[in-house]
């Protein structure tokens, strides 16, 4: 029914008549980019540029919206109630393909008469929003040297932000001001489709563009079906119209593609993993670093147009799948996490590649991997495309977060998690399950500004909690439930515990003086027969323990009424 509208759109995407200004081997500076979009905002009422908030650099992060309404309030209401696509550009500012592709798309859309309606007069066109330059600090740190392996453009931004953060690892911990602005944008739009534009490193192969789709095992059933049974097959068909082949991201299992490729695990720390938590149809675009910049831009543009065409033709299907996913999230009984690659279940995928060669390098004198473009091949290779959840937990009715954890509450609030705040009249006692950290390891070097905790062992203990004003109660019966579990369950891959939000609780604050405390141990052991039995058994079986006064005293102290209950106990609780 909508082919009369979609086909011209796709042909427009694959045409070579796009603006020479944005199709050369150059990409605009932040200042030139925003100035150009401000000009379009003034010239065309269908294009609106909004200052959405601060970046770490101090300059704003903007959002360009097409097919919105006359004012921002009505625009965002329309976005939330209609099919909406959000495109993120320059999260790594040295990868500007999406910046140019979005500018070309705007120019071609204007040139085509700004189509938003089908011949039937129906407004079929989605709301399209793109962040022109998310990593503002990286855009300002411009050079032509930081991307050593990349074929153009002539000058570009830097991967790190103003705080030297990789912003595509920051969507849970939210160290950057940018991340708060992104959350504001994301939830104001509630996008049905999210695209994050990148450039990849890695093996050499003929594909100009590869894509990452959300790990199917982590998705709600309706979104899994939408992504893998509807969207991806149709996107591949659309791309074929322009003789453009769409292929999954080439994440190598071994040294070369012949050993197989692995489906990417889009953890919540990443942009698309974050978007998937909120049931958006999410993709990361990865153009190939060795392809010329104009060619990469054209491929990014083609993918964007194919996705827009899909949104037009399947808007009801998309909306229905997302609605079902939100209901599913509210009613989950079990939350699975810690997904590991299932190496026993392997598919085959037809791959176009170049033969790997190992010539001796004239400088190092060593044989090094290379790819011979004069020896192309096409063959089936292993595709590791299945994950298994190593762990799971039953879903509580509520979580409680102690009111002093303002940084966490701030992050829950900006992500529009619904919660009730305890006040003086509602403060009461409640039976809860608390998390007790038994053990953990911290790395020797930081990762994105954190010594992210590893090898965690966490137990649970039933206690009576005295709620106080400022504490919050979070119902798990809401469509943000996946996000809530992902950050508050301590053993999940990107939990707030792993990202060091609770490190102060992992440090003991009080100790004892041995010469005083040893006078009390007989009384303590007499009052606690089970402790005395455990103490005597360990002393009999553990020679080191039997000869170490401090170890013996600390064992008794740790199990006595004098030991601080807050040590290793997280200020997050479950109510079942």
Give the pair of three-digit tokens for residue 156. 């570009």
Q: Give dist(CA 212, CA 112) in Å, integer.
A: 30
Q: What is the pLDDT, as a whole number, of residue 244?
A: 84
| Helix runs in 314-458, H state only | 315-330, 406-414
Residues found in the chain = 576
Q: Give dist(CA 23, CA 12) in Å, integer.
A: 15
| Cβ atoms 329, 262 nearer than 8 A | no
Q: What is the pLDDT, as a whole number, of residue 34?
A: 98
The series of mean pLDDT values per 10 residues for the chain, 576 residues long, is 50 54 93 98 96 98 96 96 98 98 96 79 87 98 96 98 98 98 98 98 96 98 98 94 89 97 98 98 98 96 95 97 98 98 97 97 95 98 98 98 98 98 96 97 97 98 97 98 98 98 97 95 96 96 96 95 95 98
Q: What is the pLDDT, as a whole number, of residue 115?
A: 85
Query: Nearest to residue 16, comparing CAs of 312, 211, 196, 244?
Result: 244
Q: What is the pLDDT, as a whole number, of residue 123?
A: 78
| Positive or negative torsion for Cα 531, 505, 410, 271 | negative
Q: What is the pTM of this model?
A: 0.95
Q: Where are the beta strands (DSSP E) in 343-453?
A: 347-357, 370-384, 387-394, 398-401, 420-421, 429-441
Query: Nearest to residue 312, comparing CAs of 203, 235, 219, 257?
Result: 235
Q: Give dist(CA 211, CA 233) in Å, integer.
A: 13
| Cβ atoms 185, 282 nearer than 8 A | no
| Positive or negative torsion for Cα 559, 565, 571, 572 | positive
Q: Give dist(CA 226, CA 281) in Å, integer.
A: 8
For the chain, domains (ranges, CATH) are: 3-196+211-250+262-328 (3.40.630.10), 394-507 (no CATH)
Q: What is the pLDDT, as a whole number, of residue 2?
A: 46
Q: What is the pLDDT, as a whole number, of residue 83?
A: 98
Q: What is the pLDDT, as a whole number, of residue 460?
A: 96
């Amino acid at each position: 029914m909508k082919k009369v509208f979609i086909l011209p759109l796709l042909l427009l995407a694959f045409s070579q008549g796009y603006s020479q200004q944005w199709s050369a081997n150059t990409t605009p500076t932040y200042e030139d980019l925003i100035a150009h979009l401000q000009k379009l905002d003034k010239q065309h009422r269908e294009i609106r540029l909004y200052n959405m908030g601060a970046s770490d650099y101090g300059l704003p992060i903007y959002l360009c919206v097409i097919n919105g309404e006359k004012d921002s309030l009505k625009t965002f209401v329309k976005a939330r109630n209609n099919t909406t696509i959000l495109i993120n550009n320059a999260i790594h500012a040295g990868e500007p393909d999406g910046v140019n592709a979005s500018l070309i798309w705007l120019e071609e859309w204007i040139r085509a008469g700004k189509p938003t309606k089908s011949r039937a007069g129906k407004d079929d066109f989605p709301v399209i929003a793109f962040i022109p330059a998310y990593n503002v600090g990286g855009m300002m740190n411009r050079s032509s040297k930081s991307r050593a392996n990349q074929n153009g453009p002539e000058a570009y931004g830097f991967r790190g932000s103003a705080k030297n953060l990789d912003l595509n690892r920051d969507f849970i911990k939210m160290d950057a001001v940018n991340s708060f602005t992104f959350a504001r944008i994301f939830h104001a739009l509630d996008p049905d489709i999210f695209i994050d534009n990148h450039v990849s490193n890695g093996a050499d192969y003929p594909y100009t563009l590869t894509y990452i789709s959300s790990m199917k095992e982590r998705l709600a059933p309706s979104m899994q079906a939408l992504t893998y049974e509807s969207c991806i097959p149709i996107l591949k068909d659309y791309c074929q119209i322009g003789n453009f082949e769409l292929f999954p991201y080439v994440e190598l299992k071994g040294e070369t593609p012949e050993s197989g490729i692995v489906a990417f695990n889009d953890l919540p720390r990443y942009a698309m993993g974050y978007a998937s938590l909120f049931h958006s149809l999410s993709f990361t675009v990865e153009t190939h670093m060795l392809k010329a910049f104009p060619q990469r831009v054209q491929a990014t543009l083609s993918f964007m147009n194919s996705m827009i065409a899909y949104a037009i033709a399947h808007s009801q299907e998309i909306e229905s799948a997302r609605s079902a996913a939100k209901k599913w999230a509210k009613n989950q009984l079990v939350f699975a996490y810690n997904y590991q690659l299932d190496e026993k279940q392997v598919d085959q995928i037809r791959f176009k590649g170049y033969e790997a060669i190992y010539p001796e390098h004239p400088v190092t004198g060593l044989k090094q991997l290379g790819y011979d473009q004069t020896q192309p091949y096409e063959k089936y290779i292993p595709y590791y495309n299945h994950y298994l959840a190593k762990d799971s937990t039953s879903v509580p009715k509520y979580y409680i977060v102690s009111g002093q954890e303002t940084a966490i509450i701030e992050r829950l609030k900006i992500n529009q998690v619904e919660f009730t705040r305890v006040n003086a009249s509602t403060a009461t006692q409640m039976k809860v399950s608390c998390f007790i950290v038994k053990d953990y390891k911290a790395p020797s070097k930081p990762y994105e500004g954190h010594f992210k905790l590893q090898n965690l062992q966490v137990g649970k203990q039933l206690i009576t909690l005295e709620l106080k004003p400022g504490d919050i109660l979070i119902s798990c019966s809401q469509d943000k439930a996946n996000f809530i579990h992902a950050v508050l369950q301590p053993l999940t891959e990107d939990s707030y515990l792993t990202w060091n939000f609770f490190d102060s609780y992992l440090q003991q604050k009080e100790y004892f003086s041995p010469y005083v405390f040893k006078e009390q141990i007989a009384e303590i052991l007499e009052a606690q027969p089970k402790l005395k039995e455990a103490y005597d058994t360990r002393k009999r079986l553990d020679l080191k323990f039997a000869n170490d006064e401090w170890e013996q005293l600390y064992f008794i102290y740790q199990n006595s009424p004098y030991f601080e209950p807050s040590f290793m106990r997280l200020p997050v609780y479950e109510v079942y």
